[in-house]
Structure 1
Amino acid sequence: MSQTILYARVSTVEQNLDHQRSQAEKAGFTIDRVVADHGESGVTTRLLERPEGRRLPDILREGDTLVVRWVDRLGRNYQDVTDTIREFMRRGVIIRTVINNMTFDGATKDPMQEAVRDALIGFMAATAQAQAEATKEAQRAGIEAKKGNPKKYRGKKPSFDRDQMRMVQDMLSTGAGASIISKETGLSRQTVLRIRDKPAEADAALRRWE
C-alpha cells in the first residue's frame, strides 16, 4: 500500500517544523508520516548526510509520494537536489511540492515531456541555490553593519519572523504574486513587497532583534 510522506527541514534549532505540515494539510495533502530534520542546513549538508534525510531511501517505496514544501527543503545545492529528485523518480517515487503544487515522477516516457520536466527540476534547483547564496550575502552585510556600529538603535521590531521571510522568498522565487503570498503567510502586502524589494534590509532588521 502506497503512502504519502512529508519531508520537513529547518536550518536552526529556533525554527519550528509544525507550519510545514499544517501548510501541506491546508493544501489538501493527507500525510501518513513525517520525516523531519531540525537544525540542518540545506546549503552545507546534503540530504543523505542529515540524520533523518538519509532514511528516506529506505522508507520510500515504488508508488509512494514524497511531499516537500518546496525543493529547497531537499537542499539548496543544485547538483544535490537534481540528483536526489531523479534518483527517487527512478525508484518510482512521486515528488510533489506544496508551493505551486508541482508533481515530478518518472512515469512518462515521452521525450518532450521528460525534457520539460527535467528542465523545470533544474530551474527550481538552481533557484534554490541562488536564493541561498543571496541570503548568505545579505546576512554577511548585516553582520558587517552590526560590527561597524554595535550600539546602533535596533529600530522597530519587524512584523515578520525568519520562517515567514523564507516562505515569502520561496514563493517569490516560484513567481507567486504579492497578494497571494500575503494571503498564504498572513503578512500584509506591503510587508511582502518590502521583503521582495529590499531583502538585505529585511534580513538585517531580523538580525538586530534575534
Structure 2
Amino acid sequence: MSKYGYARCSSLSQSTDIQEAALKAAGCKVVRSEKKSGSTTEGRTELSNMIGFMREGDVLCVHKLDRLGRNTRDVLNLVHELDERGCSLQVLEPAIDTGGPMGKVMLTVLGMVSEMELGFIKERQRAGIEKAKAEGKYKGRPTSLDHDKIKAMSAEGMGATAIARELGCTRGAIYKVLKA
C-alpha cells in the first residue's frame, strides 16, 4: 500500500507549500501539485496521472476536500474511480477516510457544502461587479493592446496575422479591435 498526496491551488500567484508539507507529514512519499481551477477535473493532468498510476490498496491523500474539487459530482466520480481500483481517499482536514462507509457519507455532505460555497462566492462576486458598475467604478478589464496602433498598422496595409505576430497576441484579438 502506498500513499500519494495531491495538492492544488487555483491561481499562479498562490502556493501549494502548506498543503505539500501537510501531505508529507501525513506519510505521502509522492506528492504531486498543480495550479488549476477546482471547479472541474478537466485539464488537471497531475491528478489524472496519479489516479491512473495507483494500484489496489493505495491511498490518495489531500489536505482539504476543496483541493480535490468544488464540484460534488466530480469529487464523487473521483471517489468512485478510486473505489473501483480498490483504492481510497484520505482527507486530512477534517479527517475523512473513504475506506469505510461513514467516510463516504461525510465526503458526500462536505462535497455538497463545498459546491454550495463556490456558488456563494460567484454570487458575491457578481453582486460586487454589478454594484461597482452602477456606481461607475467598474470599467472591466483594462485593455492590454494599443487600439490606435493596431488601427494604424492595419491602415498601412499590414494584415491581422502580421500585426498579431508583431504585438505578440492572437489574430482574434486583432480582429476584435478592428471590428470595434
Same fold (TM over 0.5): yes
How many residue pairs are counted as aligned between the two chains?
A: 137
* Contact 2:23–2:31 (CA under 8 A) maintained in structure 1: no
User: Matches of residues 157-172 of structure 1 in structure 2 within 5 Å?
Assistant: none
Q: If each structure's strand is expressed as a fraction of its own residues, which one has the higher value? A: 2
Aligned position for 1:102:
96
Structure with greater Cα Rg: 2
User: Matches of residues 1-210 of structure 1 in structure 2 within 5 Å?
Assistant: 2-25=1-24, 28-38=25-35, 40-43=36-39, 45-46=40-41, 49-105=43-99, 114=101, 116-147=102-133, 148=135, 150=137
Gaps of 5+ in 1: 109-113, 152-210
Alpha-carbon separation, structure 1, partners of 2:31 and 2:131: 39
Secondary structure (helix, strand or coil) at the match of 2:45 reads coil
Secondary structure (helix, strand or coil) at the match of 1:52 reads helix
**Structure 2 counterpart of 1:42, one-letter code:** G
1:104 Cα deviation from its structure 2 partner? 0.8
1:117 Cα deviation from its structure 2 partner? 4.1
CA RMSD of aligned residues (A): 2.0
Alpha-carbon separation, structure 2, partners of 1:41 and 1:78: 14
- State the Cα deviation string for residues 55-113 of structure 1 (Å, max 9, x = none): 122221112111112222221111111111122022121211110221112xx5xxxxx
Alpha-carbon separation, structure 1, partners of 2:132 and 2:15: 26
Secondary structure (helix, strand or coil) at the match of 2:8 reads strand
Using the size of structure 1 for normalisation, the TM-score is 0.59
Using the size of structure 2 for normalisation, the TM-score is 0.67
Aligned position for 1:172:
none
- State the Cα deviation string for residues 3-61 of structure 1 (Å, max 9, x = none): 21111111111110111122334xx50220111111x1111x22x53121221222211
